[in-house]
């Protein structure tokens, strides 16, 4: 686009912005209805109706809230080390954060998806993506623990992830950055992008126990895959990815990436891809990626590096991928509960295109194509289009559904959420949000059976909403009641990190899924467990010292540890002997260049320590556990070598 055309486009954008801000509700104060307080009040001792799992963005973790109270229940460490629980610090958990680049203690966590059966939330696991070092994690909802992390080869910026198919057959990912494939020479001029950079889609098979395994990847043109969703119901077997930068520009300065009037939604027939894999069409490619698993029997994680992956080529196999034109840098890509409608949200578009799965199928059968994009057929826009929501707002990002035929879309630029009818495409209601929302989340809102009572909007900008806290303000969530015709604002509250997406499940579904309260000590198979105080001991092997310790209210055994010399490598293996819910013990030692341990009842955890000087080093329990918690302490003596 020439500079001149560019400024014209900006001018038009500003005009449209002005139009939309003028139709925003004027008075925001009456956005809160009279009975809002009552609707979010959950009396002390009473439970919330929903668990709300919220991504942490650059915090790398997931937070868990109760809805409607918005009480923070827990923060679950996934991709970042967590001093509070010792995750990533204890010897047992360190392998969880291993990658083909070694130990990576941080990531940027954008999306979460609850496991589903027949398209309905089933409460077993929740999957999480890591955007930076491309990974997918699985959190077990019996323990709220991260139990598996798999790295994705040939990928960079694993954004379009971890969306799942309707029976959790696959957790699927699309790379945000196209890059030279891992086994190619990466030392190429960046401006050879079009020739050397590729986009990869990963189909990660999920086993009965949840275990993940990359079944195959699809090599696609070097676009940027942004978001995706699985087809469901009639469209089960298909996956839809939004992509931007279909120009394949290597610099996105100015508006290079938005030159084209339309980018694409890429529709992938993964059932067909499965057939090709079965028929041996996958090419085995050498790559390296980590696969890390947590073993509940030994309470230890292990990491292995895998060395190959099967790749299908979208150019060669002409009937697994199709492009559907989608206006102006599409972001959200959402499929309604029936599986018939696919909603694309172009960030710079002043309308929302809604595509029809049936029409798309007919268009494919009748070859209603507009040429191809690098060998991938481009379906004619009108042939796949159900219709457009006209003038809905500005800067549409994400859409969820209430299961009653309504869709809800967030608008970043005009700072509002808009409710519209999926069939008639009529706007039904709009409400301001504070400010500039990204994702929204309705319990079950991307499944076949939304629960549809609440909606939470995740705002990127907080400005003046709360007491100021310096230059940095927490991002904010807003809870709406969507049970009636009009959306009603109930509550807003600060959040942790940067929540992008969130998902919710009925509380009973999670609470009754076999929640674990403590580990049975007799089932503890940790190689360094001490099942009673009599088993406490110090074992030397060369300069490695293993200290077998126990903790129970309110002492450690042993609490006087001698025989350690400078130059030794010391491993404190602390077993928590408690057999009761909610009685963890902590363990911290003076000056250790490490965090603490937090050991759950019945569990063993290990802190590695290389003493740097001679002397006496106190240790103590960090988690208040009894009236004599303060007395839960001891000493380590370090002698000269
Ligand atoms: S993204 Cu953040 S607002 Cu990473 Cu799903 Cu759209
Ligand atoms: Cu054990 Cu405090």
* pLDDT, tens digit (0-9, with 9 covering 90-100), for 340-390: 999 999 888 889 999 999 999 999 999 999 999 999 999 999 999 999 999
Strand arrangement, sheet containing 72-76: 72-76, 62-67, 50-55, 502-506
CA distance 596 to 530: 19
Mean of the pLDDT values across residues 406-417? Answer: 97
Distance 602 CA to ligand 1 centre (A): 39
Q: What is the ipTM of this complex?
A: 0.97
Mean of the pLDDT values across residues 239-256? Answer: 86
Pocket test for ligand 1, best of 130, 331, 399, 417 (most atoms within 8 A of CB): 331
**What pTM, to 2 d.p., does this model score?**
0.94
Mean of the pLDDT values across residues 14-42? Answer: 62
Token match 């229940």: residue?
A: 73
Candidates 237, 515, 476; CA nearest to 360 is: 237
Q: Quick one: pLDDT at residue 5?
A: 42
DSSP secondary structure of 475-500: -EEEEEE-SSSS-EEEEEEE-SS---
CA distance 330 to 233: 24
**Number of the ligand 1 atom closest to the C-alpha atom of 500:** 2
What average pLDDT is seen over the chain? 94
Confidence class for position 3, pLDDT limits 50, 70, 90 = very low
Which helix H or strand E contains 353, and what residues bound it?
A: strand 351-356
- Bridge partners for 171 per DSSP: 164, 204
Mean of the pLDDT values across residues 460-467? Answer: 94
Distance 626 CA to ligand 2 centre (A): 7
Q: Report helix, strand or coil for 625.
A: coil
**Number of the ligand 1 atom closest to the C-alpha atom of 331:** 6
Q: 460: Cβ below 6 Å to ligand 1?
A: no
- The end-to-end CA distance of the chain, in Å, is 71
Ligand nearest to the CA of 229: 1
Q: Are 242 and 193 in contact (CB under 8 A)?
A: no
Q: 216: Cβ below 6 Å to ligand 1?
A: no
Using only the alpha carbons of the chain, give its radius of gyration.
26
**Number of the ligand 2 atom closest to the C-alpha atom of 553:** 1
Percent of the chain surpassing pLDDT 90: 90
Ligand nearest to the CA of 345: 1
Which has more confidence, 470 or 255? 470
Confidence class for position 129, pLDDT limits 50, 70, 90 = very high
Confidence class for position 255, pLDDT limits 50, 70, 90 = low
Distance 634 CA to ligand 2 centre (A): 12
Ligand nearest to the CA of 176: 1
How confident is the model over 33-59, as pLDDT tens digits?
Answer: 789 999 999 999 999 999 999 999 999
CA distance 152 to 182: 11
Domains of the chain: 521-639 (2.60.40.420)
Q: 488: Cβ below 6 Å to ligand 1?
A: no
How confident is the model over 130-149, as pLDDT tens digits?
Answer: 999 999 999 999 999 999 99
Q: Quick one: pLDDT at residue 253?
A: 76
Which helix H or strand E contains 103, and what residues bound it?
A: strand 102-103
Token match 């098979």: residue?
A: 205
Candidates 391, 368, 394, 398; CA nearest to 381 is: 368
Number of neighbouring beta carbons within 10 Å of residue 278: 9
Q: 500: Cβ below 6 Å to ligand 1?
A: yes
CA distances from 290 to 78, 99, 138, 635 (A): 15, 5, 14, 39
Token match 């996956």: residue?
A: 239
Which helix H or strand E contains 13, and what residues bound it?
A: helix 3-22
Q: 397: Cβ below 6 Å to ligand 1?
A: yes
């Amino acid at each position: 686009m020439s500079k001149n055309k560019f400024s014209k486009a900006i001018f038009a954008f500003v005009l449209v912005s002005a139009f939309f801000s003028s139709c925003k509700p004027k008075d925001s104060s009456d956005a809160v209805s009279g009975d809002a307080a009552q609707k979010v009040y959950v009396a002390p001792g009473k439970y919330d109706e929903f668990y709300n799992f919220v991504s942490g963005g650059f915090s790398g973790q997931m937070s868990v809230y109760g809805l409607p109270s918005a009480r923070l229940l827990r923060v679950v460490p996934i991709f970042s080390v967590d001093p509070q629980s010792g995750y990533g610090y204890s010897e047992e958990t360190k392998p969880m954060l291993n990658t083909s680049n070694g130990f990576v203690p941080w990531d940027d966590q954008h999306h979460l998806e609850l496991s589903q059966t027949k398209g309905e939330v089933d409460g077993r696991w929740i999957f999480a993506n890591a955007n930076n070092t491309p990974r997918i994690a699985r959190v077990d909802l019996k323990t709220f623990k991260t139990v598996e992390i798999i790295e994705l080869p040939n990928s960079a910026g694993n954004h379009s992830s971890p969306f799942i198919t309707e029976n959790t057959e696959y957790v699927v990912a699309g790379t945000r950055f196209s890059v030279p494939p891992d086994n190619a020479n990466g030392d190429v001029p960046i401006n050879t992008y079009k020739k050397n950079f590729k986009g990869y889609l990963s189909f990660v098979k999920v086993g009965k126990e949840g275990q993940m395994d990359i079944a195959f990847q699809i090599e696609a043109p070097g676009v940027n895959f942004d978001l995706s969703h699985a087809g469901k119901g009639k469209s089960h077997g298909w996956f839809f990815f939004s992509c931007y930068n279909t120009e394949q520009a290597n610099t996105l300065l100015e508006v290079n990436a938005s030159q084209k009037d339309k980018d694409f939604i890429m529709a992938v027939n993964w059932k067909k891809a499965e057939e090709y894999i079965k028929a041996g069409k996958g090419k085995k490619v050498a790559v390296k990626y980590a696969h890390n698993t947590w073993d509940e029997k030994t309470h230890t994680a292990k990491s292995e590096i895998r060395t190959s992956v099967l790749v299908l080529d979208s150019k060669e196999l002409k009937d697994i991928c199709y492009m559907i034109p989608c206006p102006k840098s599409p972001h959200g890509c959402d499929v309604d509960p029936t599986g018939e409608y696919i909603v694309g949200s172009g960030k710079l578009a002043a309308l929302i295109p809604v595509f029809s799965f049936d029409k798309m199928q007919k268009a494919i059968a009748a070859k209603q194509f507009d040429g191809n994009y690098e060998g991938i057929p481009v379906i004619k826009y009108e042939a796949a289009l159900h219709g457009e929501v006209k003038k809905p707002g500005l800067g549409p990002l994400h859409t969820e559904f209430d299961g009653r035929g309504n869709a809800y879309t967030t608008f970043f630029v005009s700072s509002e959420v808009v409710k519209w009818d999926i069939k008639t495409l009529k706007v039904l209601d709009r409400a301001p949000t504070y400010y500039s929302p990204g994702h929204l989340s309705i319990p079950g809102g991307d499944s076949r059976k939304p629960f549809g009572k609440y909606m939470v909007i995740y705002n990127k900008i907080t400005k003046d909403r709360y007491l100021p806290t310096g230059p940095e303000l927490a991002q904010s969530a807003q809870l709406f009641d969507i049970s009636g015709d009009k959306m009603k604002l109930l509550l807003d509250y600060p959040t942790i990190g940067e929540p992008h997406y969130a998902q919710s499940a009925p509380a009973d579904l999670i609470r009754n899924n076999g929640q674990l309260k403590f580990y049975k000590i007799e089932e503890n198979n940790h190689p360094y467990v001490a099942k009673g105080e009599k088993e406490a001991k110090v074992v030397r092997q060369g300069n490695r010292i293993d200290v077998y310790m126990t903790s129970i209210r309110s002492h450690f055994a042993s609490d006087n540890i001698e025989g350690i010399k400078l130059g030794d490598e010391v491993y404190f293996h602390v077993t928590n002997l408690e057999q009761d819910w909610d009685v963890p013990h902590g363990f911290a030692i003076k000056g250790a260049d490490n965090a603490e341990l937090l050991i759950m009842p019945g569990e063993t955890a290990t802190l590695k320590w290389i003493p740097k000087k001679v002397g006496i080093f106190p240790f103590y329990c960090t988690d208040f556990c009894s009236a004599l918690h303060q007395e839960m302490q001891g000493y380590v003596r370090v002698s000269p070598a």
